[in-house]
Chain A
Amino acid sequence: EVQLVESGGGLVKPGGSLRLSCAASGFTFSSYSMNWVRQAPGKGLEWVSSISSSSSYIYYADSVKGRFTISRDNAKNSLYLQMNSLRAEDTAVYYCARERRGATRNDYWGQGTLVTVSS
């Protein structure tokens, strides 16, 4: 069974940093691109970042470019999101999601981890 479990969320002050993790199991992690998607309270889904299976290709939304860094450790079946210079508008539930290629889509999602940026 495919499982994605996020961790690392919490309360952080504006300007602070946080590192999110996503532990993957039930599939060959090293064969899939992975994404981070976030959802602010009461709002819609926003794509944040994508990383290819071997980390060769990395993409960011303009809203986080230069502040967030996506990475992965295929030996540990783990995906990460390093978030620096956090702002109030980064407050959201952050989901990791597996990217299925061919007809590209996110076929599995974690349960999400809440990041709150507030003083």
Chain B
Amino acid sequence: EIVLTQSPGTLSLSPGERATLSCRASQSVSSSYLAWYQQKPGQAPRLLIYGASSRATGIPDRFSGSGSGTDFTLTISRLEPEDFAVYYCQQYGSLCSFGQGTKLEIK
């Protein structure tokens, strides 16, 4: 079982700032099988990034993903008010699992 650990648990930033979210895997994950999701209260998750670095359809280019092996990063270059939400990483390298989430809150 691959365990994904996200950090930080909560990130407090202001609109316009840059956000860097981390996802660390307990064992190596192929980049093809690492995705990121955004979830707002009362809504289903929304796919942001797949294959570690490819943006999903309709996702603004301020969202970017990077990383390989056991360390992956989601970066939001310039925060908009609608970006404050919870973010999850997901792996499909061995069955499927999610990280515990990072809450991005307004400072």
Contacts and interface: CB of A to CB of B under 8 A. Distances in A.
B44 A105 contact: no
A95 B56 CA distance: 19
Interface of A: 35, 37, 44-47, 50, 59, 61-62, 95, 100, 102-107, 109-112
Contacts of B45: 37, 45, 95, 106, 109
Contacts of A111: 44
Contacts of A35: 96
A47 B101 CA distance: 14
B90 A106 contact: yes
A47 B51 contact: no
Q: Is the interface of B mostly helix, strand, loop or mixed?
A: mixed
A104 B101 contact: no
A41 B34 CA distance: 25
Interface of B: 1, 32-33, 35, 37, 39, 44-47, 50-51, 54, 56, 88, 90, 92, 95-101
Given A45-B88, A45-B98, A61-B95, 16 more contacts: A44-B98, A44-B99, A59-B96, A95-B45, A103-B35, A103-B50, A104-B35, A104-B50, A104-B92, A105-B35, A106-B35, A107-B56, A109-B44, A109-B45, A110-B44, A112-B44
A105 B92 contact: yes
Contacts of A110: 44
B97 A47 contact: yes
A106 B44 CA distance: 11
Given A59-B95, A103-B51, A106-B90, A44 B44 contact: no
Contact of B88 (A44, A50, A100): A44
Nearest to B51: A103
Contact of A47 (B32, B33, B98): B98
A90 to B, nearest CB: 17
Contacts of B98: 37, 44-47
A29 B72 CA distance: 32
A44 B23 CA distance: 14
B101 A105 contact: no
